[in-house]
Every structure is written in structure tokens, then in C-alpha cells.
Chain A
Amino acid sequence: MGKLLAVAAYAAFTIFLLRVFMHAALWFKRPWRTVADGSTLEEAKFPACQTFAAVALEAFFLRRLLRVNPALWIGEWVFHMSFVLVLLRHLRYFLTPVPEFIWQVQFLGRIAGYVMPFSLVYIIAVKAVAGRGRYAFTYNYFLLGALLLISGLGILMSTVFHPNVVAVKQYMMSVLSLKPSALADGATPWVLPDGLPFLAHFGLVLILLVYLPTHIFAAPFTLYEAKKREKTLGRFLHD
């Protein structure tokens, strides 16, 4: 079973990488600018670091969402922040030795793990109730549902069904290293930690990886371009 899940993990990761590669290959096949994209000769000329800083702030605070829907923004911001913290907290399962900063975010990551499902429920409620079904795109609900299940199972594992974290780490290192012999002395490769919750948690993460929304890697570019556009808008007709 451990080997089977490892194969599933490799398959999911391969699909994820292929998806990213296919999208990137499509992007690079086309010129970055074409005639008639409305900005060819009006390229922004302002300090790149200033733009990056502005875009980083915009991405961190999800400012564009704040402007159009503050009620949804609070849920989304809490979710994204807690998601990043939970991811950082989980790095301890994948790295040896574990960097110091990962240990330092463990407490915050644990809190974030409890907060995340509530933020997801809030987002679903805002979308379903406040939006009166207007934004009911099935794919979004599928993602939200999967994340809710994953985070719910995470909470269950940290409170009720405690898995053997040493076994979890050994399994993850088996999967990651591809070479079970590289594991620490005495460790048994490919052995799944006990318990259905871990199996479900890990399996759902793999499904999420396959269906990971493309905006995760595309949105930073569009936010950057949007910021440049905002800055150059006045230049078309104003000297």
C-alpha cells in the first residue's frame, strides 16, 4: 500500500509538473507582446524594484480583492496566510535537517491549521449566501471542499487520531528520496503510517496537486502587468 501511494504521489507530481511545463511552453511559443495589445510602444519605464515591491504588497494583502469585496477578502486573506503557514509547518516532514525557521513557525503553523477550515467555511458561506449563488463555479467549490477536508483531517490528526509523526516523516522521506537506502539507519522504507486519516489526508493532497489552480503561478505575472498598466495609463494622453 505504501508503494502504491508513493506511485500515486509520483504520478500526481509528474502531472503537476507536466501541466506547468505545458502552460509555460504555450506561453513561450507566443511573443510576450503582439501588435494591438495596446502597450507595445508605451512600455513602462520605472524602477523594477519599486514595481516588484508594490506587486508583492498587492499579492500579500490581496488588495485588488479588498477593493471589490471586503467581506470575501477577510476570509480569503486569512485562508491564504494560514495556508502558507501550514505549508511551512509541514516542511519539517520533507527536510532533513529541518531549518531553524521551520521550527520557529511551528506554533504559528499549528494555530493556522485550526484557523484554516474556519476561513474556508466562511469563504463558502460568503460565496453561497452573500453572492446568492452568483459565483457558483463548480471547480471553485470542488477546490474549497477538498481544502476543507484536508484541513479538517489535519486537525483530527493533531487532536484525536495522532499518527506516528516519525513514521510519517520516514514515509515522506522514502517518497522524496526515491532511494529508501538513503534513509536513517533502522528506518523501514515505503511503510505507510497507521490510520485512515493520514491516508485520506495525503490522498486528497495528491488530488489537489493534480487540480491545482493555474492562477497560483500565473497571477503574479498578471498582477505585475496590471501594476505597470496602472502606472502607464496616464502616459498615453498626458505628457
Chain B
Amino acid sequence: MANKESYTRCLSAGQLVELDACTRCGECLKYCPVQEVTSDKSISPPEKIRLFREFIAGTEGLKSRFFGAGRIDQRLLEDFAKAVYECTTCGACGQTCTVGIFTQRLWPMLRREMVRRGLGPIGSQRETPGAVSRTGNPYDRPAAERFSPWFPAGVRVAGKAKLGYYAGCTGAYEAQPMVRGDIEVLGKIGGPFTMLDAEEEVCCGFPLFITGQFELLEELVKRLVVAYVRKGVETLVCSCPCCVNMMARDWPSFFGAKLPFRIRHITQYVADALNRGKLIINRGIEERLIYHDPCYLSRGVGVTEEPRAILRRIPGAKLLEFDRHGAESRCCGAGGAARKVFHDNAIAIARLAIDEARQKGAQKLVLSCPACYSKVGEALSGYDKLSGYGEIEGHERQLELVDIMELLSGVI
């Protein structure tokens, strides 16, 4: 595609206004996790906005109207594409933006424009559409292995039910203790719940959406929505914040209508069950817990209270907080599909969360996101071997990583 072609085709008017609204105050840099570990200002949020504004000005600005569109330097475009894909899309920059730019949505749209121009996605992200088409999941793993390795024995899945459970690809293939915990807790609550078959439960579309690859989205969403409707689902529960975000915010758009069922994060459903007495906690934990808010759950769809309500109910458990928590939480490094390409950034960001959890004296770091679970787990496993971390040697044994449902399934 010619570099002179419009750069605004993937953006809404609101997002164009957002680009114009950036004051370049730089306040967001203090909250950007990628900045924290790279200190590379060229990939900072205001710099990305400035560059993209230059691309627009170069092709559709005042000067280009009078003197013709200039050719944008290919190297600059490639650098921009790399910068926009290095972002974890955690949205912390938007949360702290002094003019309220919704960056958690802006970055994926800029990525989409890069895809349109053949400059994105990058690295292994390119393989996602093919993998999803072949196997129904972005990890290219066989559908037959989606549930069988971790699904707990003795829990019955109904053929049809008002409650549906979506495990999600990352949970099913990369964070199995988490989804096992989900099912065990749902089983204890006792009401009937249904699931799609392993071949039917395909990717929710989030990894494609977040990398700007929209081609398969409508088909995937329609397939899933129709399948859940056939199962009689009225409430669809999921533990993956990215899936939940995609379902609540974007499925209606790709489905083309309001969804015929409600979407709930599993912590909401379980907190409600605890309140109604359908689930009883009968064991305590004499430990200090610290809960990490996943970006797409807290900033994305506003679920911050329910996980804490669950943890507070566990007898003996002391709940600690990160300095930045709730809607202001810090990214764990796993978001935005950046972890697939910028692995070192992801590990370094995850270690910041581990550091803080340790400094606060937490014994368990409680997560509620499979991507966080997988990446923070990876960061934790190699923690002791790092140079400069000698003073906290034995760290892995001092801080345990646990998913909220995994934890809960052990005390009910």
C-alpha cells in the first residue's frame, strides 16, 4: 500500500479527536509499564500519537492539500508499527491521561491500520489467524486437548442450562490450574451449567482483535453466540478478563445486535453465590494475600470489588493491596499479545509486580487472569537466578502464585 494513502480509515471520528487532544504532557509515561522497563521515549504513548498525527498531516493535512501528499518514510512507519505492537495495551496511560484519551481502544485501532498497510502484526502474532482457523485457538493446539487434560473428574456438565461457562484458550492451554479451579467452584455451587464441546468452543476473538486482525472476528463471534443460544444459555461466565472484555464490549458489534445472554466474570458469579449462601467457605488460610487487578477486568469492564469480596470472606486471610490497584492497577506484562514478541519486556514488567508483592510482605500473589497467571508464573520461576536479586534469594519459595478460583477451590 502506498505510504501516501489515508491513515484514518480504521479510526472513528472520536479517535481522531483523541489524537488531536493529546497535550504531550507526558504524565502517562509515569504509568506506562513498557516505559518502566525500557525507558525508551520513542515508544511512549505521546510519541506514538505525535508520529501518527504526522502521518495524517503528511497525507491529509493542510500542507499536503496544497502541495500534495508527502511520502512517509518507510523506516519511520516500521518503527511506529514496532512501537505500537510493543505496547501491552493495559490502558494505564488512558486511565491517567489528563484529557481522557481511551488508549486501551486507540492502540488496537492503530494496530489495525498497520495491518491494513502490511506493517503488522509482528513476529508470531502473524500466525494467530491461521492457528485459529485450523484449531480454533491461537496456540495451534489440538481442540481435543482443550478440556481433557485439566477437567476435574466428578463435575457434570449439562447438555443445556441457563448458565454457560467459557474456559477460554489461554486458561485451557496455558493456565490450567485456573480453569480447573473455575470448574471445581462451579461444581460446588451446584446449579447446572453447560459448556460447548471442545471443538465448538473456539477463540473469543480477542487475540485477533488486539493485534488488529479483524477478518475472522465476525464469523467467530456469530458461531459462539449461536452455539450458546442453542444451549439455552442466559448467563455466560468466563474467568479470562480479555475474553470477558471482548464479549461484553465487542461481541455485540460483531454479532450485529445486543447479545441474547448476559456476560459475567466468574468472580461476579461466585461472589453472588457466596452472598446467597449457595457456596460455603469451610476452611481458612492464615496468610497474607495480595490481589492483582487484571487491566482488562478493572479498567476494561470495571470489575474490582467482587474478587476482593471473595478474598475477604476467607477466614484468616489478610488482604494486602498494591500501591496501584483497582482501575489504577499496574500491568503484569502479559497483555496486548506483546508477550509473544517482546518476551523480555513482559518478564521484566511481571517482576515489578512480584517485587512489590514481596515488599508488601505478601505470601500469595492472587491473580484472576490466565495471561497474567502464565507470564507472572514464568517470571517467578526464573526469579532467583537473576543477577541483582541476590538479596531476595529463595523468592520462588517465599511468594506463591495462585489464581483466585484455584485458591477458593481449596477452601470450600
The interface of chain A, by Cβ under 8 A from chain B, is 15, 18-19, 22-23, 26-42, 62, 64-65, 67-69, 72, 127, 131, 134-137, 139-140, 213-215, 217-219, 221-223, 225-227, 229, 233-234, 236-239
Contacts and interface: CB of A to CB of B under 8 A. Distances in A.
Given A134-B26, A139-B24, A225-B18, 17 more contacts: A22-B61, A22-B62, A27-B16, A29-B8, A35-B253, A36-B254, A38-B249, A38-B250, A64-B96, A65-B27, A69-B27, A131-B26, A140-B25, A215-B23, A222-B101, A225-B100, A227-B100
Contact of A36 (B27, B65, B109): B109
Interface in B227-286: 244, 248-250, 252-254, 258, 262-265, 268
B40 to A, nearest CB: 12
A140 B27 CA distance: 13
Nearest to B257: A41
B214 A36 contact: yes
A239 B235 CA distance: 12
Contact of B258 (A41, A62, A233, A239): A41
Contact of B14 (A32, A35, A42, A227): A32
A32 B12 contact: yes
B122 interface: no
B29 interface: yes
A227 B60 CA distance: 30
Contacts of B253: 35-36, 40-41
Contact of B16 (A26, A38, A41, A42): A26
Contacts of A140: 23-25
A215 B21 contact: yes
B30 interface: yes
Contact of A215 (B11, B22, B65, B112): B22
B3 interface: no
Interface residues of B, number: 59
Contacts of B203: none
A236 B248 contact: yes
B116 interface: no
A180 to B, nearest CB: 30
Contact of A33 (B12, B20, B98): B12
Contacts of A15: 62
A225 B14 contact: yes
Contacts of B263: 236-237
User: Shortest 5 CB-CB distances between A and B: which pairs?
Assistant: A226-B100, A135-B26, A218-B20, A218-B21, A233-B302
Contact of A34 (B12, B41, B104): B12
A64 B98 contact: yes
Contacts of A136: 26
A83 to B, nearest CB: 14
B131 interface: no
Contact of A222 (B18, B65, B249): B18
A69 B24 CA distance: 14
Nearest to A25: B60
A38 to B, nearest CB: 4
A18 B66 CA distance: 12
A140 B29 CA distance: 15
B82 interface: no
Contacts of B302: 233-234, 236-238
25 contacts: A22-B65, A26-B8, A27-B16, A29-B8, A30-B16, A31-B13, A33-B14, A35-B253, A36-B112, A38-B102, A41-B253, A64-B96, A68-B31, A135-B25, A135-B26, A135-B29, A137-B50, A213-B23, A221-B21, A222-B100, A223-B100, A226-B100, A227-B100, A233-B302, A236-B302
Contacts of B209: 36
B303 A226 contact: no
Contacts of A29: 8, 13
B136 interface: no
B411 to A, nearest CB: 25
A37 to B, nearest CB: 5
B100 A64 contact: yes
B135 interface: no
Given A32-B13, A64-B100, A23 B252 contact: no
Given A27-B17, A30-B13, A36-B108, A64 B250 contact: no
B144 interface: no
B46 interface: yes
B15 interface: yes
A69 to B, nearest CB: 6
Nearest to A22: B62
Among B14, B18, B108, residue most surrounded by chain A Cβ atoms (within 10 Å)? B14
A134 B41 CA distance: 8
